[in-house]
Amino acid sequence: MPVFTLLAPLAPAPVVVAPAASRARQNGTTRRHFVVKTKLVMDGKNFGLSCSLGMEDDSLNLSRFLDKLFREWEDRKARGLFHHDISCCETKVLPGERNFVATLIEGRDQKKRPTEFGMNQVLQPFDSGKFNFTKVRPEEVIFRFCETDKDSAQYFGGAPDTISASSSAILINVSPIGYCHVLLTPKIQDCLPQRIDEESFLIAMYIAREARNPFFRVGYNSLGGFATINHLHFQAYYLKVPYPVEKATTEKLTTLVNGVSISQLVDYPVSGFVFEGGASLEDLSDVVAKVCIFLQENNRPFNVLISESGNSVFLLPQCYAEKQRLGKASQEFLDMRINPAIWELSGHLVLKRKKDYDEASEPNICRFLVEAALSETEFQELKRCVLDFLTVSDACNLDIDS
Ligand SMILES: *[C@@H]1O[C@H](CO)[C@@H](O)[C@H](O)[C@H]1NC(C)=O
Ligand SMILES: *[C@@H]1O[C@H](CO)[C@@H](O)[C@H](O)[C@H]1NC(C)=O
Ligand SMILES: *[C@@H]1O[C@H](CO)[C@@H](O)[C@H](O)[C@H]1NC(C)=O
């Protein structure tokens, strides 16, 4: 079974004066206790997010991977590399049946790197003239890693014998929406465009598995599905609440010969698929990647959530950019400037105006998600094509305008 070997950080750490709290965390013998100032509000009652977003006592049994990632991310935070301090941003769980999560990050999109490509094409070639991740500041790189066949004892054993020229990297997201928000860039130096291939998707699945923690999810946004950079990347962060999509009811559609089962979400504002099971993580990964590639080739924007440490994967097609382009998006939500990327579709909404945050409610978030998602008819048609593709490998024609 392949494991990852982490390479040394690309750049030596600049000398910084770490705050005392942060230094205490470096002491392996002290209990990990992240101080998270964010308030979590559930059913009108506040409770400290140190027991929800952060880490504490019983939940502190972090995998070596996540432990290392948290420490490195805290180090980057102490060095002041982020555009905002996410631990000071308010987050609340909304009352209701689904418990949507809302985070207020005022003015986030002004500081974000701008989207630099058309929203109407899922497959676009890599453009050397546009921003790419090889040029991020060295201190934004948390670590590089590559696959090895060695056993996991060497997982953090420093540089491996041979360093693959195209190692993958984990970078901080300088504009985080959650604790430990990072970007995973498979084979960073290869400058692949934002599109799923089997090998890269498997790397994302391995990362989810290595984290061994259901609150650390890995996500993907296609072009046209609110990815903002056309250089292959996944995202991940830690949020210690179940996402509404993870709690949604599902209905089994089929089980493939390799044991991977495909279900659909029922009674959730966004229609989508759930993939689970199979004899191995590789089998599951392979099926999801194939469906993503099928959607890409048919110019269908989509978003992916790798959940439960890689044991289940949500694939959510969407059409919000298309609705915006055709002038069919409602003004109320356009004014809110929410981009329905994977986190939003999964039920964690990042809001940019205090007013929207204060007024956020389950009914209005549901209405927004319904707008972003495919209609029932569109989803049924897509479902038929996806199932045909997987079972008879004879894809039907997916005309986006039909
Ligand atoms: C680490 O923690 C242990 C136990 O709390 C303490 O005895 C030790 O002095 C600490 N070491 C440093 C370097 O702070
Ligand atoms: C921590 O996790 C490891 C591996 O997942 C497990 O073997 C161990 O029993 C856990 N320890 C505690 C205290 O839960
Ligand atoms: C990545 O971006 C830099 C400029 O930021 C550019 O010099 C380089 O050529 C780009 N890489 C590729 C493969 O286009």
CATH of the domain at 225: 3.30.428
Question: Phi and psi for 34 in degrees, rounded to 5?
Answer: -80, 135
Is position 392 within any domain? Answer: no
Query: Which residue would you say has higher pLDDT here, 5 or 15?
Result: 5
The reported pLDDT for the residue numbered 397 is 54
Query: Does the Cβ of 134 fall within 6 Å of ligand 3?
Result: yes
Residues lining ligand 1, CB < 6 A? Answer: 27, 29-30
Is position 257 within any domain? Answer: no
Q: Do 307 and 246 form a contact (C-beta atoms < 8 A)? A: yes
Q: Do 188 and 234 form a contact (C-beta atoms < 8 A)? A: no
Lowest mean pLDDT among 116-120, 224-228, 256-260: 116-120
What residue's CA is closest to ligand 3, atom 8? 128
The pLDDT tens digits of the residues spanning 209-247 come to 999 999 999 999 999 999 999 999 999 999 999 999 999
Is position 381 within any domain? Answer: no
Is position 288 within any domain? Answer: no
26 pLDDT above the threshold of 50: no
The pLDDT tens digits of the residues spanning 332-375 come to 999 999 999 999 999 999 999 999 999 999 999 999 999 999 99
Average pLDDT over residues 124-131: 91
Average pLDDT over residues 103-114: 74
What residue's CA is closest to ligand 3, atom 10? 128
280 pLDDT above the threshold of 60: yes
38 pLDDT above the threshold of 60: no
Residue among 349, 372, 360, 342 nearest 96 (CA): 360
60 pLDDT above the threshold of 70: no
What residue's CA is closest to ligand 1, atom 12? 27
Give the rounded percent of residues in the chain with a pLDDT score beyond 70: 75
Average pLDDT over residues 299-323: 97
The pLDDT tens digits of the residues spanning 132-185 come to 999 899 999 988 877 665 544 334 434 444 445 568 899 999 999 999 999 999
Number of structural domains the chain divides into: 1
Which token pair is 38? 């964010």
- Residue 33 annotated to the active site: no
CA 296–ligand 1 middle distance (angstroms): 53
Is position 312 within any domain? Answer: no
5 pLDDT above the threshold of 60: no
The reported pLDDT for the residue numbered 33 is 29
385 pLDDT above the threshold of 60: yes
What whole-number distance in Å separates Cα of residue 249 and Cα of residue 97?
Answer: 12
Is position 299 within any domain? Answer: no
Query: Does the Cβ of 132 fall within 6 Å of ligand 3?
Result: yes
The reported pLDDT for the residue numbered 247 is 95
Is position 391 within any domain? Answer: no
Is position 95 within any domain? Answer: yes
Could you list the residue range(s) of the whole structural domain that residue 362 is in?
3-247+320-372
What whole-number distance in Å separates Cα of residue 400 and Cα of residue 383?
Answer: 14
